[in-house]
Structure 1
């Protein structure tokens, strides 16, 4: 049986019973009330809607007479299974506000969105088994708020993993777990804002992070890039004492900062008593060469904040990220009441991830996903080169889950995106990544590949080729 809530208008000119009858009939026709659904009793519905029993009874009788419901002795009224193909088309063509038409669903056939991941290879059975273990009665700690910094066991696993994979030196006590990088950066902004009000960022750089800093009152100093990453000389000229950087896979261009420049940057921070915010957002997925140690692992002066996330390796919807604070900022975190902030990540998800890591599933999953994404990226690059050749330039192909594509066909960014949409393909703008958007490249788009199958990658690139080059080719 279902509850039924609606507004009956006593001054509408239509009897209340007829309004009720119309409402129920429309819900049956539209499928909101499915076949075999039991309607509320006359007494229950009259009490719920504050109308007389006679009103409900009259509406029900009309529904019975017209064959929308049937009465079962000593059981109640039930919706009849209708032959919808025999109903007038005017009934079937109406859509409820929350319905999505088939046309809406298929409007985009190939979505090259960065941030989508390969959900088909998520170890759901293993995750479900570990989640069920967390729901055992002895896991009483999972029913409390828990430590504001995050579950101790998970922080221990993260510290061990980062030391082995990225050389990061930290104790579990330095790690703060939070629901995404943006949340953690908001906390960090509060800590840094106590004595600073400006921050340097790569130009171009991640616009989502730029927005967080701006919302927290920071002035943004865009620092141009060299071929090997951030221009240290321009950083020094900016007079900022804080810099946010993605050195292992610059976002969005993809270059890797070499060891010599990393040492320069660390010297800059030490000389100014500055802060480096190292966002290592997808360091697991490097396809060419050996990974360079993280900045944090090279920092003997403890001036680096290290950020990482599980969104690219597991699922974005889990909302699990982490931040490693150097001792000075950790002292501020404790002194200024940040431990009063409630933990934002589900305690169940934290415990499940702890078990996932401690039982060895995490390392296995990373190895598998690295191979899967390497094949996808190879498929993407090979298809682009086969079809488009020197008509495009691929940028940032050594790591990560996206590339940039500079297209040499005379179209600007908006025209490229619109032409792709005509072929039911979605590619993404790059210009928002510039603080000074007038300096952004005008014929470039971002292409993510994590969420598409190899087959769809090939078909999607063929569609882009038709969208961007086929009219030119057929003119000859």
Structure 2
């Protein structure tokens, strides 16, 4: 029996919803529904009400009409819902909250300037016309602010028309894979390197060519032999090795691109987070080469949650971008874009960068000291001095299965370098940005107790 009552919800919607729920939750495949006349009599409804409910169920495929017989629940509807419910149940994953989570690319919740952001957001939202479609490449004023910032801090020289505001790094790579697929179906990528780039390009059918990393960055000889027309590099701070390409080799790389009519994707993912040196100038600004596609992000220094990245395209690729994405708008909401514009324009971004460098250097140094004190000579530090994590490699034999079990029992989460790179080694990416300063020693001490219990003696 269905329960129908007077409310703001029309009776035919109530009837439709209850019959649909009945079909979804019970094995009614092939069951005949009451005729429209009997349904009207039993529930004291008008013929129009019942017909409207049945018509909606029929339109959605829940029921079928058999000539001179009536309405029946579709034969395969139960099997379909059973399978869907089974899949949902099997795929459900619960996310555990860990006491100490050494995630290598996030901040503790006290870092983001929430009060200032709310103040700026309130100010810009009042003056933003939300009745208009936004600029497809991203808000023009924001792109002007990004242009000025890049020129002063990264030696990236461009016009605002060359900048595309994207919703995170993977979105940036999606755009590039889309606009370059007619140019080439082959991309060379640093090896080891960041996993996201090859994953995105593979979805577009690109053939991936891994190129080795030397002590001076990507192996140019291998690159030249590959006959590639497109290469992805992280020249200022190679991920995960931390290697910086020196200026002499940068010029050689650009000359290779010019001579071979090729493009370089320069991922400058954490240029703001260098603690021991001044940030290295970009590849893009060398000799106005027009062969470098520059990729930057606000995730590392501001917030990974806001999902704001950007591309600087060579002018030759602009028309291709405009034609390919004439249907699309920036995935970053306009209120976030306008708030970020104000954040940069009013000088808060520069202050924030200085603050973050100082804060992260403190956390970095505390983490390094804690590793030395608690893990002693059982690990070797492979990479430090930038980003939000320190890479460590064991100098002793570890029972990795036992370590994993003990970590789970003690509510501690660590991340192998294999988590987000193509490097297939037993190296740990120990994040420090995710902790408050006073938590770092406690976290490493807790981890060390588990670590020593997993050493094979």
Deviates more, 1:264-273 or 1:214-223: 264-273
The SS at the match of 1:115 is coil
Partner of 1:4: none
- How far does residue 193 in structure 1 lie from its aligned partner after superposition? 0.8
Question: Aligned partners of 2:452, 2:169: CA distance in 1, in Å?
Answer: 39
2:237–2:244 CA contact under 8 A, matched in 1:
yes
Are positions 1:127 and 2:110 aligned together?
no
Q: 1:154 aligns with which of 128, 136, 142?
A: 142
1:422–1:467 CA contact under 8 A, matched in 2:
no
The SS at the match of 1:296 is coil
1:313–1:366 CA contact under 8 A, matched in 2:
yes
Distance 1:104 1:180, change over 3 A: closer
Are positions 1:343 and 2:325 aligned together?
no
Partner of 1:263: 251
Question: Aligned partners of 1:262, 1:394: CA distance in 2, in Å?
Answer: 27
The SS at the match of 1:199 is strand
Distance 1:434 1:236, change over 3 A: farther
- Which segments of 5 or more consecutive residues in structure 2 lack a partner in the other structure? 19-88
Distance 1:429 1:358, change over 3 A: same
- How far does residue 223 in structure 1 lie from its aligned partner after superposition? 1.0
- How far does residue 419 in structure 1 lie from its aligned partner after superposition? 4.1
Question: Aligned partners of 1:350, 1:279: CA distance in 2, in Å?
Answer: 21
- How far does residue 456 in structure 1 lie from its aligned partner after superposition? 2.3
Are positions 1:309 and 2:311 aligned together?
no
Question: Aligned partners of 1:451, 1:399: CA distance in 2, in Å?
Answer: 15
Are positions 1:360 and 2:344 aligned together?
no
Question: Aligned partners of 1:117, 1:219: CA distance in 2, in Å?
Answer: 35
Partner of 2:187: 199
- How far does residue 433 in structure 1 lie from its aligned partner after superposition? 4.8
Are positions 1:464 and 2:447 aligned together?
yes
The SS at the match of 2:232 is strand
Question: Aligned partners of 1:346, 1:199: CA distance in 2, in Å?
Answer: 31
For the aligned residue pairs, the C-alpha RMSD in angstroms reads 2.7
Question: Aligned partners of 1:182, 1:399: CA distance in 2, in Å?
Answer: 22
- Which segments of 5 or more consecutive residues in structure 1 lack a partner in the other structure? 1-9, 11-15, 18-40, 52-96, 98-102
Matches within 5 A, 1:63-78: none
Question: Aligned partners of 2:377, 2:125: CA distance in 1, in Å?
Answer: 56
Q: 1:431 aligns with which of 414, 418, 424?
A: 418
Q: 1:386 aligns with which of 373, 387, 392?
A: 373
Distance 1:370 1:461, change over 3 A: same
Question: Aligned partners of 2:353, 2:371: CA distance in 1, in Å?
Answer: 27
The SS at the match of 1:119 is coil
Are positions 1:445 and 2:428 aligned together?
yes
- How far does residue 165 in structure 1 lie from its aligned partner after superposition? 0.7
Question: Aligned partners of 2:336, 2:220: CA distance in 1, in Å?
Answer: 40
Partner of 1:322: 310
- How far does residue 135 in structure 1 lie from its aligned partner after superposition? 2.4
What TM-score, normalized to structure 2? Answer: 0.77
Distance 1:151 1:407, change over 3 A: same
Partner of 1:145: 133
